[in-house]
A and B are shown apart, each in its own frame.
Chain A
Amino acid sequence: MNPIRLSVKFAAIEAPEPLDAAIPLFHRFMQQGLVEGLLIDVADYQHVPQGPGILLVGHDIDYGVDETGFVAIRKRQDGVSAADQFRDVLRMALGALQAMEADAEFRASFDPGQLRVAVMDRLHAPNTDEGAAVVESELAPVFAELFGTDAKITRTDRDDARAPVTLEIAVAGIDAEAVLAKLPPGSVPRIPYAAPQSDWDITAEELKELRDSGSDLLLIDVREQSEFDTVNLGGQLVPLGTLDLEIPELAKDAHLVVHCKAGGRGAEAVKQLRKAGFENAWNLRGGILAWIDRIDSSLPRY
């Protein structure tokens, strides 16, 4: 059975307080490419009582946080079986949980051992005994494989035949890492700051390697003076607006790495430099924030 939509929801141990905190979190997910999926926008539904809370809407997956838990909804998987969709969405959801844990500002926790799986497809999986049996027969082996045979599975949709077929799974002492290891790798590598910003990006790790190796590179900081004063990497300050004045001063064959706060201005700067004939100019993907998050967390984030 190939349903059009399948979701996994982890119960909240400690819901974010206020729920608002999920808005910047989801924006960071997008800005830094921290979770899988083609993500489109953040929708704030806090005004709806018992509503979906805050949603991170994507093309192929939605993520959501409300008072009761964290949900991932897989969609647009034409011709993919329920079992494979479940494996897929579980990996994405667990990945997002890890990204939340790693986030410095977001405070909430969810229990990967308390999950609810819903199949939203009234054509292929109607909420009838027959429909539910098909769902159970397809998903039960996957549950056993991933969670062991002790997992408790309960069908919780019986009070309303119009609701999607829903199974609740309780796994005592779940080891999320171990579960992740059993799942197929994602199509999108789950690396922070993975989204390209220009055609000439280098990562924070690559920059560190270059610097450690004593390579002769010129680091150019294209932010403003006040930002530079807040925190810097010892680069030469050339605000983006004055880059054109600086260009004639630079040697065409110099090895240049530009950075800004988060990579946007850096991408712009490297475009200008490349256009002006600098063939060894690069942009630090994710800017100084990526450096702080991944290389040197002692520096202040701003």
Chain B
Amino acid sequence: MNYSFDFVPIWRNFDTLLYGLGIGLSLAALSILIGVVIGGVVAFGLVSKNKPTAWIAGLYVSFIRNIPILLVIFFMFFALPQLGIRFSKITSFVAALSIYAGANLAEVFRGGLQAIPKGMTEAGMAVGLRPMQIRLSIIIPLMLRSTLPSMGNAFISLFKDTSLAAAIAVPELTYYARKINVESFRIIETWIVTSLLYVAATFTIASLLRLFEARLAIKR
């Protein structure tokens, strides 16, 4: 294989790639925020004593977790407009990511909820707190704290999933990479630089999260 490397066309477009990376990070950040809310609500559904609630929550979680995220994206982007629900491209993409993250986080939070000793609720009851107060002041903070590492992982995988935005032509890193690839024909260079950008970003996020966790751990 005689292929002469030439990174110049990539460097020329490097700012575009970085811009794409920024878009990906923003989409992931927005989606994880919404996903945490969905996941939190659904997790309480999963552990609910009310049978239909638990069943519906369980169905949502196991269905979404067993289908490809790209299918969810296509559904939001192509199927919902047909049903008369119209969003912008970006909104439907963020919605798809949030729904997907919500299902995964619900499972994570359920584990967190079940790991909270019954004594925590009882101690709250013993000082006269009402159920909603117990949930807000005791259960939810404990749940979020114990699942922080998993939330970090969810964020990283969500960030990688933002590459799928390229499939519905939302411009982000992968979309621009493909464009540069086609325009410059510097194939190997494009994909090496693109993956390195993703790897560097995920690595940085992971390190920052670990630092953040360590900080919190001391405070406990």
Q: Do A and B come from one complex?
A: no
Seen from chain B, the residues whose Cβ lies within 8 Å of a Cβ on chain A are none
